[in-house]
Amino acid sequence: MKLKSIVCGLTAVVLSFFTGSTMIAEPFAGASFYDFTMKTIDGRDINFEIYKGKVVLVVNVASFCGYTKQYTGLEEIFQKYKDRDFVVIGIPANNYGEQEPGSDEEIKEFCSKNYNVTFQMFSKISTRGKDKHPLYQFLTAGGGNELLAGEVAWNFEKFLIDKKGTIVSRYKRHIEPMSEEVVTKIEEQLSK
């Protein structure tokens, strides 16, 4: 298994060198999900150490996307499991089709008014490109797991973090928050 990881890693490096591919995530030195501090949508700093011992679903969100309706499922799954140490983190980004152009205040109002969002929303960041936020450098590097590495393709991509701060699963935009695939994995992690 270790040899396979080395070969895969070397292949990715060689391919990225010759193709200039942006699909291969750059490495990130962050050791853990808990190494990050971010501003909430209200401007407060939150150190991710508060999420130790919790299962966390991190989602890049946008107000004017075909997948924006997933706010309903995100709120539903948050309400279903919040009493069992489960957290949803919404992170607005304007990187995909410029579908999140608003200010933090406008985004907060939109989410509250249209979807009654009560899960934690953070300040708008960049999730790709030269100004990619360090959290997304960590997430798109797979947290050290090359099977989970790769750039975020669009809004509403989801990363599931276990109680130890490790990325355990990743879901593309078309996977609904309340899908059997997501719910089963969340329940599996909550039972550990």
Predicted confidence band at 12 (pLDDT cuts at 50, 70, 90)? very low
pLDDT tens string 137-154: 999 999 888 999 999 999
pLDDT tens string 36-86: 999 999 999 999 999 999 999 999 999 999 999 999 999 999 999 999 999
Q: Which of 46, 65, 183, 190 is catalytic?
A: 65
- For the segment 131-140, the average pLDDT, to the nearest whole number, is 94
How far separated are the first and last CA of the chain, in Å rounded?
Answer: 25
Q: Are 15 and 24 in contact (CB under 8 A)?
A: yes
Specify the 3-state DSSP secondary structure of 163: coil
Specify the 3-state DSSP secondary structure of 148: helix
21-52 in b/e form (b: 16+ CB < 10 A) is eeebbeebebebbbbbebeebeeeeeebeebe
Share of the chain above pLDDT 70, in %: 84
CA-based nearest residue to 171, from 181, 189, 163: 181
What is the pTM (predicted TM-score) of this model?
0.85
Residue 111 annotated as catalytic: no
Q: What CATH class does 21-190 carry?
A: alpha beta
Q: Which amino acid is at 100?
A: E
- 5/3 Cα distance (integer angstroms): 5
- 58/22 Cα distance (integer angstroms): 22
What pLDDT is attached to residue 31?
Answer: 66
Over 80: is that where the pLDDT of 13 sits?
no
